[in-house]
Amino acid sequence: MKRTITLLRKRGPTPSPQNNITFANAVANVAFKDGKVVSFGNSFSKPSSFASSTATISVDAAISAAEKALDGTHNKIPTTLEYLVQNQNKGTWYEAFIDAHSGKFISSIDLVANAAYQVLPIFKQDLTEGFEFLQDPQNPASSPLGWHNDGTSATNDTSGNNVLAYLDQDLTATTTQSSAGLIFNYTQDPSLSPSEQVNSDAARTNVFYILNTWHDVVYLYGFTESAFNFQQTNVKSGGLGGDRVLASVQNSEGLDNANFGTPPDGQSGQMNMYLWDATDPERDGALENDIVTHEMTHGLTNRMTGGGTGRCLQIIESQGLGEGWSDAMADWMEHVAAPISDFTLGSYVIDDPAGIRSHPYSTNSSVNPYTYASLLEAGEVHDIGEVWANMLHNVHAALVDAHGFSKTARTDPSGSEGNIVFLHLFIDALALQPCQPDFLQARDAIIQADTNRYSGSNKCLLWKVFASRGLGFKAFDYTDDFSVPDGC
């Protein structure tokens, strides 16, 4: 498959001593509380020498080299000259990025429309738990334009301000309302091939609903325009518009997988959902909500870590953290009561209750034995992600045990219950950690987030949970430590 290539694109002037040429991945993050700096991090470095600031090859030659190396075609986004201090050779996003549009908001009229969808509610894992007909699931606090208006025009299909869900490679192949009034009532038939019209319509409708619901939930917890979220029109100030998520359903370029490409703020995120062939007929990943949520969460973590560049989770440990956050978000979305029970992911698509991970996520070490030292045996990013996701599962469970569970956490972030506290810390911490974080920095960012938001009231709880899985106060270099700071 030919890929569309985005060469380095300037994210605004970041002057350096070298003739005002930007340093790629040189990002600082500062947190304030009560008008004072409470934490500071950066991914700066001090090179001993600099290459010449005058290029010795032409732009055309650089484009040609990139096209040859990546088997792709330049997408005409303007190139820039940048210093690359740390060369990341893994995890580069090659997906087909979409050119940013200005999308300036020109109206404050509330254009919310009634709508109804035959879908799998976001708290259900897959279609074995049953479809429901949901009326008006959009949250005006997060999506004031509604789900079927992009700030310029109203739609009657699976497109809007947050998401464009379409079939395979055709951006125009959306699912149109089944009846007037934005009614999307398509009944999926699991005995038929996913490619049957009613099944592909049901799949696109479900992805459109899940991604919009996900948008509305995380918006309440801080993934807003100013935090570089995905919207065609940014209703509130901050960030760049023109970047709703493009969701390809039943993408024919892959099998038994899914992925998400996160370019910088202002360019659309690209989700690709594939079919799975462990069964006959094949099963559609678009109808397994935990996989859809997992992929969408890559957009959150890639955008919020490093200030909207999409570049700051690319070394292997940082990529692994990204996989872990994505599993943990699916885990959070699908829990409906206390206590926090064991969680598996991907059971439906492979027709196996054990799912697609090596162990369930669990507070029981006999069910999931992973500790920080398990990273020494982790061979790839999903293996690393399982270690982090299980730690977050344990944090979530401990917070719920301590503070209770809110059944309205997806629509009301103001409570003090444990699942609300967990998602606030999850999202707050992303902006506090440095570019290319490791486990220690990701842990510290969560503890700092608790200091910032809750005056450190959960500090010892958090340390004890992390320490119980080897990520204690003196943990270092993938060696387990089970200690906590003095006072805990």
For 43-58, the pLDDT digits (tens) are 555 565 556 667 776 7
Least confident of 39-48, 71-80, 90-99, 141-150: 90-99
Backbone angles phi, psi at 69, to 5 degrees: -70, -35
- Tell how far CA 281 is from the center of its chain: 30
Across 98-112, average pLDDT: 40
pLDDT (0 to 100) of residue 136: 96
**Rounded Cα–Cα distance for residues 444 and 388 (Å):** 13
Q: Which residue has the higher pLDDT, 209 or 108?
A: 209
> How many C-beta neighbours within 10 Å does residue 254 have?
15
Which pLDDT score is estimated for 379? 85
- Asked if residue 411 lies in contact with residue 220, where contact means CB atoms within 8 angstroms, the answer is yes
Burial class from Cβ neighbours inside 10 Å (0-12, 13-18, 19+) for residue 274 reads buried
In what helix (H) or strand (E) does residue 243 lie, and over which residues does it extend?
A: none
pLDDT reported for residue 47:
63
On whether 298 is known to bind a ligand per the annotation, the reply is yes
Q: How far, in Å, are 115, 147, 228, 235 from residue 143 at the CA level?
A: 14, 7, 15, 9
Token code pair at residue 237: 């100030």
The per-residue pLDDT for range 412-469, each reduced to its tens digit, is: 999 999 999 999 999 999 999 999 999 999 999 999 999 999 999 999 999 999 999 9
Q: Is 295 a catalytic residue?
A: yes
Give yes or no for residue 29 having a pLDDT over 80. Answer: no
Contact 203, 211 (CB under 8 A): no
Question: Whole-angstrom Cα distance, residue 211 to residue 475?
Answer: 37
* Encoded tokens for 9: 């694109």
Higher-scoring residue by pLDDT: 9, 455: 455
What tens digit of pLDDT does each residue of 217-233 get?
A: 999 999 999 999 999 99
Distance (Å, rounded) from C-alpha 477 to C-alpha 430?
Answer: 22
Q: What is the CATH number of domain 316-468?
A: 1.10.390.10
At 68, which amino acid appears? K
Instruction: Select from 3.10.170.10, 3.60.20.10, 2.70.150.10, 2.40.10.10 the CATH code of 116-304.
Output: 3.10.170.10
Q: What is the pLDDT of residue 2?
A: 40
User: Which tokens is 463 given?
Assistant: 């340390």
| pLDDT for the residue numbered 107 | 34
Residue 4 has a pLDDT of: 45
335 appears as a binding residue in the annotation: no
- Give the contacts of 262 (CB within 8 A, at least 6 positions apart): 93, 269, 298, 299, 302, 303, 310
pLDDT at 277 over 90: yes
Instruction: Examine domains 116-304 and 316-468 and report if their fold is the same.
Output: no
- Whether 201 and 284 have beta carbons less than 8 Å apart is answered as no
Return the domain boundaries, the chain: 3-84, 116-304, 316-468
- The pLDDT value recorded for residue 81 is 63
Which of 95, 288, 295, 386 is flagged as catalytic? 295
**CA dihedral over 173, 297, 91, 282, signed as positive or negative:** negative
